[in-house]
Structure 1
């Protein structure tokens, strides 16, 4: 059993689009800089450890978004993607070092190999699945030497060749920003075990996640690498389980069979093992979307990547979090639709139930802030209600 770590709760910045319903323009809202600032400030003030910024053709550039939000936040960390094969490792190291300094050590780096061959070709990457992981490993060999302070790096690999590479301006964090990484194929697990600080998985039933973690842990132990673990999930929490189920059904209420089929055909062209595992949870059907207690696969009908959500009452969601934590998972990256409102809802309903655990921050409060509600008749504080 992996040693249980302190919880770190993350939120998500929806730079690929946002709304109240999936698969439709109805209820959509503009993802502007002011709106992303609202989400980031909310996550910062509510006590989230950091935010994940997605990457890819469908997203605004994650590095520019993070740079734009550093100055409006205080403690919030930014999990930003480097793209082996799309960025040279020396350029990625300079970018990471700069943003780490600008944020005073609040950068986390997400290593993304990319699982959509069509999108990769649009970016000039014409490599098979196994070759992309060869590039990723070579990229990390060079990147890590640079970010950790080696002044003159020479490297000759199958895909990457550098001579006298160096990083003049070091990052704030002594060994560079921690490296996060997700992937389900054997090649991905090998890269994670050798090079990565935090291995991420998408939300699957507890037994499946336990099996994957055990495999990565064994590989890491063989290489002497200390790994932490994280999970990427959506969350739909309401005061009662039925309200949460109703909200989940409402989220996909405008999805028709044609839209689902179009999305599934796009996912089918991908060579990502993780995406295939997500698809297998629902098989493109609205039927039987609860695949485990409080684990709902409806989001994956039209959304690539993380496709499952924890759905239930605050107590149920907290209990599911503890089950994953018992496997050794310490980093939970959540999101909800719409992301601004759901950040507050999660913080208000679930975080107090986790607050007794070291590492979980609760919203900072002043004289007239915190969980008091509105003053009654200009004179009385509302009565306190037990969390239970």
Structure 2
């Protein structure tokens, strides 16, 4: 198990993602490739690429960027229902094979415009039951041949996915704070992602997920954990808070900006079931050279990569397989 640091690349039609500057060609292949190459150059492992109806297809964007990079690992957000398990397992296996094992997958169970692509789902327990089935079947299709499976939501008969993966399968990331979500994560996910929440709360959730993994008879490698953090970087703390409060006020003009509101914005706190797949404040400006020195990492964590000194906001995932007291990459405090 190892730690990894991932950025976030906006994947949306409309420019100005949560207060970002509106720039021409924000979602062109040239711009997105420039971001991915900059991440490679400055030591980041890859980037999350979000999903949702009304956005460019995430898998297509990830494939295009993987073809133009050499070490960049796309964390591809996907939804059960938008994908059928066998179709998805084949697409992911193909990309993982062609890129030499660089595909990462973020499973999203949050709400979407399901009717737009002919999908439907029930209440929260039903939604997560379908997600669990999806994960179980995808793992079997990656690791077994001639799979026959008949569940409540999906079925296949004598199914063999090609190409066969001999060097390991894509890691499966997952988010969600409800009881139903945590039971799925405890048994089926590889990495549980949290928002940048208060550290005591995150530590409690890590401990609870570890207990659930044991109680529910987890059959995979131990569950790992990651933080999904939005950072706003400025030359001084006061400037960072001031700009964060200004952004909060612009997004919610009827609410007076406060440091607590800015902190909630800065950590991308949300009640949505999948923190890794929802939009958060970020920038299309990737990290550059001459980054500000990183603060010392806490025990059990390695120092984050160098960060941009330019006025920008960024989103990163900081994952640790062992720590029960995670610390954000950086914050405006």
Q: TM-score, normalised by structure 2?
A: 0.78
What does residue range 60-71 of structure 1 map to in structure 2 within 5 Å? Answer: 60-71=56-67
Q: Does 1:160 align with 2:154?
A: yes
Check the 8 A contact 1:82/1:109 in 2, yes or no.
Answer: yes
Check the 8 A contact 1:154/1:162 in 2, yes or no.
Answer: yes
Question: For residue 111 of structure 2, what is the aligned residue in structure 1?
Answer: 115
Rounded Cα–Cα distance in structure 1 between residues aligned with 2:248 and 2:23: 13
Rounded Cα–Cα distance in structure 2 between residues aligned with 1:362 and 1:241: 18
Question: For residue 298 of structure 1, what is the aligned residue in structure 2?
Answer: 265
Q: Which sits farther off after the overlay, 105-114 or 205-214?
A: 205-214
Superposition RMSD on alpha carbons, in Å?
Answer: 3.4
2:230 to 234, 253, 271: 234
Question: 3-state SS of the aligned residue for 1:201?
Answer: strand
Question: For residue 270 of structure 1, what is the aligned residue in structure 2?
Answer: none
Question: For residue 145 of structure 1, what is the aligned residue in structure 2?
Answer: 140
| Greater fraction helix | 1
| Residues 255 and 151 of structure 1: CA distance in aligned 2, closer, same or farther (over 3 Å) | closer
Q: Does 1:39 align with 2:35?
A: yes
Question: 3-state SS of the aligned residue for 1:180?
Answer: strand
- The structure with the largest alpha-carbon Rg is 1
Rounded Cα–Cα distance in structure 2 between residues aligned with 1:307 and 1:173: 28
Rounded Cα–Cα distance in structure 2 between residues aligned with 1:112 and 1:65: 17
Q: Which ranges of structure 1 fall in alignment gaps of 5 or more residues? A: 259-284, 309-330, 364-388
Question: For residue 16 of structure 2, what is the aligned residue in structure 1?
Answer: 19
Q: Which ranges of structure 2 fall in alignment gaps of 5 or more residues? A: 308-333
Question: For residue 93 of structure 2, what is the aligned residue in structure 1?
Answer: 97
Question: For residue 190 of structure 1, what is the aligned residue in structure 2?
Answer: 183
Aligned residue pairs, count: 299
Check the 8 A contact 1:180/1:196 in 2, yes or no.
Answer: yes
- What are the superposed Cα offsets for residues 60-97 of structure 1, whole Å, 9 maximum, x if unpaired? 11111111111322212111123212211111110111
Q: TM-score, normalised by structure 1?
A: 0.68
What does residue range 212-361 of structure 1 map to in structure 2 within 5 Å? Answer: 212-222=205-215, 223-224=217-218, 225=220, 226-252=222-248, 254-255=250-251, 257=253, 285-290=255-260, 296-298=263-265, 337-341=282-286, 343-344=287-288, 348-351=291-294, 353=296, 358=302
Rounded Cα–Cα distance in structure 1 between residues aligned with 2:147 and 2:126: 23
**How far is the alpha carbon of 1:111 from its aligned partner?**
1.1
Question: 3-state SS of the aligned residue for 1:235?
Answer: strand
**How far is the alpha carbon of 1:336 from its aligned partner?**
5.6
Rounded Cα–Cα distance in structure 2 between residues aligned with 1:256 and 1:187: 31
Check the 8 A contact 1:96/1:171 in 2, yes or no.
Answer: no
Question: For residue 321 of structure 2, what is the aligned residue in structure 1?
Answer: none
| Residues 230 and 303 of structure 1: CA distance in aligned 2, closer, same or farther (over 3 Å) | closer
Check the 8 A contact 1:182/1:188 in 2, yes or no.
Answer: yes
- What are the superposed Cα offsets for residues 223-272 of structure 1, whole Å, 9 maximum, x if unpaired? 244100011111012232112112213434544537xxxxxxxxxxxxxx
Question: 3-state SS of the aligned residue for 2:177?
Answer: coil
Question: For residue 5 of structure 2, what is the aligned residue in structure 1?
Answer: 9
Q: Which sits farther off after the overlay, 5-14 or 90-99?
A: 5-14
- What are the superposed Cα offsets for residues 112-153 of structure 1, whole Å, 9 maximum, x if unpaired? 12324xx123232221222111111111221101112x1111
Question: For residue 271 of structure 1, what is the aligned residue in structure 2?
Answer: none
Check the 8 A contact 2:33/2:68 in 1, yes or no.
Answer: yes
Check the 8 A contact 2:175/2:273 in 1, yes or no.
Answer: no
Question: For residue 130 of structure 1, what is the aligned residue in structure 2?
Answer: 125
- What are the superposed Cα offsets for residues 28-67 of structure 1, whole Å, 9 maximum, x if unpaired? 5532111111111111111011200000024211111111
Rounded Cα–Cα distance in structure 2 between residues aligned with 1:155 and 1:196: 20
